[in-house]
Structure 1
Amino acid sequence: MSGAIVRLRDVVEINPGMRVGDVLEKEVCFVAMADVSEAGRITNFQTRPLLEVSKGYTSFCQGDVLLAKITPCFENGKAAVVDRLASSVGFGSTEFHVLRPSDEINGRFLFHLIWNPLFRRLGAKRMTGSAGQKRVPTAFLAEYEFQLPPLAEQKRIATILDKADGLRRKRLKAIRLADEFLRAVFIDMFGDPVSNPKAWKVKSLADLGSLDRGVSKHRPRNDPSLLGGSHPLIQTGEVANCDGYIRTYTSTYSDKGLDQSKLWPAGTLCITIAANIAKTGILLFPACFPDSVVGFTASETATVEYVRFWLSFLQKTLEANAPESAQKNINLAILRNLQVPVPPIDLIRKFAAVVSATESIRVAQRKSVQEGLLLSASLQHELLA
């Protein structure tokens, strides 16, 4: 890429102000931090009275670029071009920087410039403030230097990067559709798991297999002598954030750590019972986990795939009704006593086969998504460097 070296402040108005008296509407669009995705999109425009948001919030206009300033939102890529704005001006979280492009810089080019991983790494190093409240300072944005090609070249670069990002989104959508497909298959084969319209026999979850909490006897749990060995250790968050199968781990136990824990076999269904309630994932390798996770291994009357999908329909209800002290949790007795419709095992195994076949497709889709991410990163480096 060729072009003049400029600072961001040379071609962008940073956090421009506005006069509320110039706004004619009584209601305006509002964007909270939660309304901006890490995928670089505004997912929702709220509508709020102008008098409610005209003071104490950040204002912006159509075509501006919103950039989260606070950790971890900045590092995670919460940024977006403001499009589809239904009012003459919008308001949003005070944790947004607003970048207004001049006639010299294309808005989509500006977005990709501040959304790419290099910019985020540099910005993270310049953050100021205390832990958990660190923010990217305006000065970093103002002084950020980059090559500014001619407008026609900017538009070409932005189009290429938009297409690469669009391809990645389509691949992610295909993975989500696979999840929806399996839920639809479950309903078609077994009926609603709550109302049980097909009148299957009902058994307690404890009758369908072995159900026990993970083990971590030693205190403190983070004793360095317990960690750093060769035995995988799964945490609650890794269960909650998996997509049905636990493929990776970030912590390990030493032999001493294993001695005070329990190693669960591959194929175990992990169920969270604290903080994140009834989130599930099937282990693809032997692993230990703490007592905030329950392990379920199926008997001959069920499969872990059937139980996982059955629980997914109940998850929100279980979470909403969970007792809460310092944090929400459910105990082992609640899980063991859950009443499960039990269709014939041949039908359950047929569903497990559909899940397995679909998972093979999703593995290929996830690989494609990763390849897309690498392609996008490579293009960003090549086109924006």
Structure 2
Amino acid sequence: MTRLGDILADVKPGFATGDDLDDGVFQFRMHNFTRESALDLTKRRRVNATAKQLMIQSVAPGDVLFNATNSPELVGKSALIGVLDEPAVFSNHFMRLRTDPTQLDPGYLAHFLRFQFGRGVFRAMAKAWVNQATIGRDRLEGLDIPLLPLPEQRRIAAILDHADALRTDRREVLTRLDVLTKSIFNEMFGDPLTNPKGLPRATIGSVAAVVTGNSPSRADTSNFGDSIEWIKSGNLGGDVASTADEWLSETGRAKARVAPLGSILVTCIAGSPTSIGKASMVDRDVAFNQQINAILPSDKIDTAFLLAQLKTAPTLVRAKSTGGMKGLVNKSAFQSIEILLPGIDLQRGFAERIACVASLQSIAKSSLNVEDGLFASLQSRAFRGEL
């Protein structure tokens, strides 16, 4: 093992900037990092940069950007810079790592850092406060890395690149299938906001019962256990709500609001307006907190049709927000949201069409889970010297 700082040619922090500009230098920000630690170059924030900053704090192909300051669960993400179509700098949330090319391959380094992030190493080493965490340069440079011969490093990086590309392709398939669902909705019913087909409308409250969640007291530990999931807004956004981290006991369940299987849960209180309107169905009974309104199953509207409408046009919910820089849609306002309400047979016809899409999504997700497992196994073997 070798100390990382001993084989880096340069480590440089970025710089803070003022307002966004229409014409300036492209600056990498935290929003350029995808969940998978790839770089999204479609989002381009432009800033002022002095000649000195352009010289000292620019990025070039082969650099690795390390996200040294972020929320505790995201701090430590990193990405390898590839070909750039214009000069770029980076914000003060990052450290730019340049390797000594005679000792360390940048692709190998990027994969090693991603492996450490996945293992939770950076979250454990970060200094955290409230919703922010930072990893100091000394701690990063003190990280031990297995230093293999350069040809071996490049071989490992190539294997991991290939495995990761398979996962990227699978995610693209899932993205396209999600777009297909929205396209089918728009083809059959049009934009829910403008209603170009002149379909009947109704309020959510007139077609289904709405329930607002709550939070059993944390002061009473008997409220928490393993009887029922307690869903929060972070579990919403997919077609089906993800599994909750916390569960309530039978005591807590009796105090909670419970949404039965087939309900739609919608985020109505959030820290930012764009988080308002995240919606998912639940395929099991769940409890849920006060940030969420639940639409209970109803014979007046098809669940799949309603969920697709809310996901196609989240503005339906956001337009009712009164929370300023945050977001707040109370139960009364939520019930008053007007939605498209074509005949139930047409709704069910739509549900049958997207059931085929959902079947393809399920196959793709299963394949992605297999590929994620393979990638994790390859990472582990690579940095144990077994690949």
Instruction: Give the Cα separation in 2 of the matches to 1:194 and 1:307.
Output: 14
1:53-109 per-residue CA deviation (whole Å, 9 max, x = no partner) reads 939x95433321111112437756521112233456x32111212111122222211
Partners of 1:38 and 1:77 within 8 A in 2: no
* 1-structure distance, mates of 2:241, 2:301: 20
Instruction: Return the alpha-carbon distance in structure 2 between the equivalents of residues 123 and 36 of structure 1.
Output: 16
Alignment partner, residue 9 of structure 1: 5
Q: Partner of 2:27 in structure 1?
A: 30
The answer to whether the aligner puts 1:284 opposite 2:280 as a matched pair is: no
Bigger Rg, structure 1 or 2: 1
Q: Which residue in the other structure is 1:345 paired with?
A: 344
Once residues 258 and 296 of structure 1 are traced to their aligned partners in structure 2, the CA distance between those partners, rounded to angstroms, is: 19
> How many Å separate the matches in 2 of 1:175 and 1:40?
18
CA distance in 1, matches of 2:123, 2:242: 29
Cα 1:263–1:52 change in 2 (3 A) is farther
CA distance in 1, matches of 2:248, 2:73: 33
Q: Report the equivalent of 1:269.
A: 264
Q: Which residue of 2 aligns with 1:237?
A: 234
Q: Following the alignment from structure 1 to structure 2, what is the Cα–Cα distance between the partners of residues 99 and 157? A: 20
Q: Which residue of 1 aligns with 2:151?
A: 152
Residue 95 (structure 1) aligns with: 93
Q: CA–CA distance in 1 between the matches of 2:264 and 2:52?
A: 47
Residue 260 (str. 1) matches residue 255 (str. 2): yes
What is the CA–CA distance in structure 2 between the aligned matches of 1:97 and 1:121, rounded to whole Å?
19
Question: How far 1:353 sits from its partner (Å)?
Answer: 1.8
Moved more, 124-133 or 156-165: 124-133
Cα deviation, residue 265, structure 1? 1.2
Question: What do the CA deviations read for 1:143-176 (whole angstroms, capped 9, x no partner)?
Answer: 3333322222222111110011111111111111
* TM-score, length of structure 1 as denominator length: 0.86
In 2, the alpha carbon distance for the partners of 1:176 and 1:384 equals: 31
User: Is the alpha carbon distance of 1:185 and 1:383 closer, same or farther for their aligned partners in structure 2, counting shifts above 3 Å?
Assistant: same
Number of aligned residue pairs? 368
What SS does structure 1 have at the residue aligned with 2:120? Answer: helix
Q: Once structures 1 and 2 are overlaid, which stretch shifts more, 168-177 or 131-140?
A: 131-140
Distance 1:52 1:214, change over 3 A: farther
1:186 maps to amino acid? F
Matched-pair contact (CA < 8 Å) for 2:262–2:297: no
1:62/1:74 CA distance change after superposition, 3 Å: farther
Displacement of 1:286 in angstroms is 0.7
Give the Cα–Cα distance (whole angstroms) in 2 for the partners of residues 16 and 77 of structure 1: 15
8 Å CA contact 1:208–1:298 kept in 2: the answer is no
Q: Distance in 1 between matches of 2:279 and 2:234?
A: 10
Q: Pick one of 15, 37, 42 that aligns with 1:40.
A: 37
What's the CA shift for 1:354?
2.3
Aligned residue identity for 1:92: F
| Matched letter for residue 224 of structure 2 | L
Q: What is the CA-CA distance between 1:320 and the residue it aligns to?
A: 5.3
- The Cα RMSD (Å) is 2.8
Q: 1:197 maps to what in 2?
A: 196
The 8 Å contact of residues 75 and 120 in structure 1, kept in 2 or not, is answered as no
The unaligned stretches of length 5 or more in structure 1 are: 19-25
Alignment partner of 1:288: what SS? strand
- Residue 305 of structure 1 and its aligned partner are, at CA, apart by 1.2
The whole-number CA distance in structure 2 between the counterparts of 1:128 and 1:134 is: 5
Q: In the TM superposition, what is the alpha-carbon distance from 1:120 to its structure 2 partner?
A: 5.5
Match of 2:18 in 1: none
